[in-house]
Structure 1
Amino acid sequence: MGGADNRRSPAANNGNNTTRNLPLDPVINLDHGDPTMYETFWKKLGDECTVVIKGYESLSYFSNPKNPCWFLEPKLEDSIKCLHDAVGNAVTEGYSIVVGTGSSQLLQAVLYAVTSHDQPSQINVVAAAPYYSSYLEILDLVRSGLYKWAGDAHEFNKNEPYIELVTSPNNPSGVIRGPVVNRDGGVLVHDLAYYWPQYTPITSKLDFDIMLFTASKCTGHAGSRIGWALVKDKEVAKKMTKFMEVSTIGVAKEPQLRIAKILQVVADRCKRFGSPEGDNFFEFSKNMLAKRWEVLRETAKKSEMFILPKYPLQHCNYYGEITHINPGTENYLIMVTAFAWIKCKDEIEDCEKLFRSHNILTRSGRRFGSDPGFVRVSMVGRDEEFNMFIDRLSKIQDL
């Protein structure tokens, strides 16, 4: 079994000098995409993002009764618009913003909002495999009378109404995607959680009918549980709001105000490229991920046990250039996605089982409607976890 001690790999040390007393052979949980990597950046800012809420403030249920999403804090609405405008990844003019407890709640609200109690049967919900594993889990848990999970969009051939969930960049693979079914009678929901410049080139300012984002992937503040939807149809936005009004009576104001402050700080600094203070959050984060991906690719190349994906070369409007070009090719670039979609060599039928035997928890390709020869590995944990992962990966020997 490939063990690991508490040594820190210089190649993967990205500035986080926090040392944690970990056991010599701990289980490394890379199943979840818990974005603790970002602690390094936010610690540098000290109290700059601190929000103080006094005891008499934010007592009311209501934030703006005239807004379709009446519990959306105006400061959060302003900071969301400011950040999207600064990054150039989504249009906000002419859209209603609906805030939710993460994008998971927003997804449920969307599915409710685009269906009808008068429809004769449940609407099929599809996504192209490999699809985000929680889609199936959410729909299976809710078991709504309005909609049902219908699996891989590539295999959907029913002449019936449908909802297609388009995750771009894809979770788990990181590729940019468009709709697959492409026929009348469908509703498209674009999950754009990772469409930020630390994960993927920003190629255009998107203007789809329904677009989902979340602070957990944008800034790493998963614990605040704030997501937002940009919704073109005001009636759909109102129905989404009604869903959350009935289920949770809105979204708490404290995390909204916290995320509003954080997004504004990111927006104010996000055009400072090459700053010696390293205060551009996206640039800082991309550099951290790039170092990790460089180490991972080198380790996988030496082992000859694992295959990592390549991505087509694309121009990023945000950075104004093509970045991280693979020196060995002309048509591909090294992406620095939040997850590594790793394929074990063909003789290994269950890649998750192999990793688990080395005390590395990953998420099997089965969970994404794909081949068990694949696993998804989180790249956004703390340095010591990543370093131990690389150490163990390098010791996995041929069967």
Structure 2
Amino acid sequence: MPRQRRTGGAERPSLRGVGAALTSLLALAATSLVAGPAAAATGEAGPCALPRTEAHHSLGVSDWNDAYPRPDRPLDAVMIFLSFPDHRPAVTPGELAADHFPATTQFFRRASYGKFTLRPHPLRQWIRMPETSDHYGIRRDWDNGRRGAYLRDAVAAADPQVDFSRYAVVYLVADPDAPGVDSDATKVVNFDEPLHADGTDIRRVVTVFERHPPDRNVLAHETGHVFDLPDLYHRPADGKGDWDTHVGDWDVMGSQFGLAPDLFGWHKWKLGWLDRRQVVCVQSSRDITLEPMAAVPAPGVSLGTRLAVIRTGEDSAVAVEARSSTGNDSTTCTEGVLLYRVHSKTPSGGGPVEVIDTHPETGGCGDRSVYAPLADAPLRVGEAYSVPGGHTRVEVADRTPSGAWTVRITTGV
């Protein structure tokens, strides 16, 4: 994650194969894909659904990679709190759990329109690691051997207290004040070969090294990776400069500090929270009424159209959605109709989504935005934009009394 801003029970099967499984770890930024069988996407994919590719965290929506849990039903997550011999924790597991929950559960419940609930199960006690905190060399770009030792020790130490077969998500939360803990090391670690404990495969874990209190929305971002969502930020080669040039504030997978962190409609389509009834594939000129992406309908009220898609190539599309100051986007800098490009062959961290700046000469909320040039990217009522390199024009014709946006999309221009 970029840090550019800060303000006892029955006996169970023993842990097996840990050493072998940890010899080839894949960090989150790796470009290879954890293999898994495909499962059909929700409903018929349709002509605008890009194919899933071998790219790490591919944004193809043609099918689902079953190596990842799909958040279309309630899922249970265990939080394991790790202490070290060289430091006595100054905070309690309960305080650290409260840093992230219920806020993370609420984020996903709003983003999914109530279709997904993340149920946390935090341990009430510290699990003692066998080595000191500095022994593991914890840092962002972590040595594979030391990271492997950390994960091997953590899972082995927790196994007597945790039945891993009960959980789809595993959070390993380190004592934030231990001298060897580096908050930049917070990330998801995928295993080439899954660990096997309590009769279940552990394919990935979330290693949490956050300070107390933590970065806003950090666990929503990391948990998104558990559900096969990519990093949308750009990491400069030297680690310096702007990290948020691809999507700015628009989506928590770009920045946990974003002013409009709700997930893109494309992500919601991939996860199964939107289906063909809420996604319009534009193949000829037409008018579409788009409900704001972050707006959660009242009980019994249908979602309405949330996403319009124009296919631009074998593995590319332009997506159109409305964003307004509601739900997860309540702190947004600008309301309007957002356009972005999607590339299903581009891996996580390589720019699989690129927001189109319809106001390239201006910016917005420079004192709050993670990347001001894209803060005013959406089109407003009365504005139109011709997408470069294509034959598509998008015009915002009106906004309805209910807050939806009437969009005229012209193709072949």
TM-score over 0.5 for the alignment? no
Q: Relative CO higher for 1 or 2, CA cutoff 8 Å, sep ≥ 6?
A: 1
| Larger proportion of helix | 1
Range into which the TM-score falls when normalised by the shorter chain: under 0.3
TM-score normalized with structure 2 length: 0.25
TM-score normalized with structure 1 length: 0.26
